Amino acid sequence: MINLDSVGYSYGGGDLLTDISLRLAPGSFHFLTGPSGSGKTTLLKLCYGALMPTRGQVSLFDADLRKLDRDQMALMRRRIGVVHQDCRFLDHLPLSDNIALPLTVSGRDRALEAENLSELMQWVGLSARADALPPELSGGERQRAALARAVIMSPDVIIADEPTGNVDWEMSQRLLTLLIELNRMGKAVLVASHDLALIRAAKSQVQARVLRISNRHLQLAGADL
């Protein structure tokens, strides 16, 4: 569904990523690791079209990223759910409206989607917080809300940037369970994380490949993970 072929990305006159090849197939689960500043977030942005590669080719659902116009790109991005590291919300809107925001932006009828929204909020354990404003949420609630918002359009691919970085181990396990459930539904999942304990927990439940960015290149991580 998403393919990177010999992709490179330069910033500020220097190479940040070099010769990156990656295929996110239906039902695949990948973890992306690497030290801070190695380019994990940049690679994720290349995968969902927020950045254009300096070299190589990125294909989204068999379409060359460079050949997509603005409207085509918008349609492609509806098939990719992104959980951003900073979990930004509109603070003046209740949680349910924040989660449903992709529906509103895409022109979908909220009334027709009410049941799906209710089920999704129950699935992430936030039904009782539907009317809460984002500043009233805990870190774990914000992360679960970010995941719910990312999947409200039933995307084919889920990309998450450090989704457990600001929560405790119990909440990390809960978020991981949600991601694994999505993967078992046939979604491709790509998670950037530095949490080796979480990665080991995932590998005991699902076939996950662990990739590492090292010296601007993407490598398959060792069996010690």
Encode pLDDT of 160-178 as tens digits. Answer: 998 887 778 888 888 888 8
Lookup: tokens for 14: 């220097």
Domain parsing of the chain, residue ranges: 1-79+156-225, 85-154
Check residue 222 and give its pLDDT.
Answer: 59
Considering the chain, what is the average pLDDT of its residues? Answer: 90
Q: Single out the residue of 138, 143, 136 nearest to residue 165, CA to CA.
A: 143
Check residue 7 and give its pLDDT.
Answer: 95
pLDDT in tens, 8-24: 999 887 888 999 999 99
87-101 burial, b at 16+ Cβ within 10 Å, e below that, comes to: bebeeeebbbbbbbe
Check residue 169 and give its pLDDT.
Answer: 85
Q: What percent of the chain has pLDDT over 70?
A: 98
Residue type, 102: P
Lookup: tokens for 152: 């409200």
Check residue 111 and give its pLDDT.
Answer: 76
pLDDT in tens, 54-109: 999 999 999 999 999 989 988 898 899 999 888 889 999 999 999 999 988 888 87
Check residue 184 and give its pLDDT.
Answer: 93
DSSP state of 155: -
22 membership: H or E segment, kind and range: strand 14-24
Task: Give the whole-angstrom CA distance, residue 159 versus residue 195.
Answer: 16
Average pLDDT over residues 197-225: 85
Cα angle 49, 161, 195; round to 5: 150
Check residue 37 and give its pLDDT.
Answer: 84
Task: Give the whole-angstrom CA distance, residue 174 versus residue 138.
Answer: 15
CATH class of the domain comprising 1-79+156-225:
alpha beta
pLDDT in tens, 93-107: 999 999 999 988 888
Cut 0.85: pTM above it: yes
Asked if pLDDT for residue 157 goes beyond 50, the answer is: yes
Task: Give the whole-angstrom CA distance, residue 175 versus residue 184.
Answer: 14
Instruction: Give the other-Cβ count within 10 Å of 216's Cβ.
Output: 16
Check residue 116 and give its pLDDT.
Answer: 87
Q: Give the model's confidence band at 145: pLDDT under 50 very low, under 70 low, under 90 confident, else very high.
A: very high
Check residue 224 and give its pLDDT.
Answer: 45
CB 62 within 8 A of CB 54: no
